[in-house]
Amino acid sequence: MKNKVLIIFAVVLGTISIILFGIKQNNTMFAKKEIGESTMYSKTDIEAAMKIVLKEFKTYPATLKKLWYEENIKENEEWAKTYNAEEAIVLRSNFKTYSGSKAMEEGLNSNSEYSKWQWILVRTNKGNWELKNQGQG
């Protein structure tokens, strides 16, 4: 009986550890994604750009809370011109950095909230989006 209790306890503890480790490793899992109305891009275009940002964000020492697109035609056109591309898209995000030195190594403040962080992506000939720049807007 005592052995059964120990085995059950070990299995439960192991399962909880795996779940918690997995959540910490996937810092984008619970992010809210919003796609606003757009006359420039299809939902598929915006989702493709978001996919690139989500992949990049996984290297951040932070938890992504929200990623969204809200259209600003003038801003998109200015970024396209800046990077000599046909098209640009600006996504925004809110996130919170983890405590510790890893955030500071990335140029971020430890245990801090960032809002409206910009992600600038460009493309030409309807090709794949390329992340060109990011930072506080």
Question: Checking DSSP bridges between strand 113-123 and strand 87-97, what pairing results, if any?
Answer: antiparallel
DSSP secondary structure string for all residues of 70-97: ---HHHHHHHHHHTT-SEEEEEEEEEEE
**pLDDT for 119:** 98
Sheet holding 130-136, edge to edge: 32-35, 62-69, 87-97, 113-123, 130-136
**pLDDT for 107:** 84
**pLDDT for 93:** 97
The whole-angstrom separation of Cα 35 and Cα 69 is 5
Q: Which runs of E-coded beta strand occur in 4-129? A: 32-35, 62-69, 87-97, 113-123
Question: What pTM value is reported for the model?
Answer: 0.79
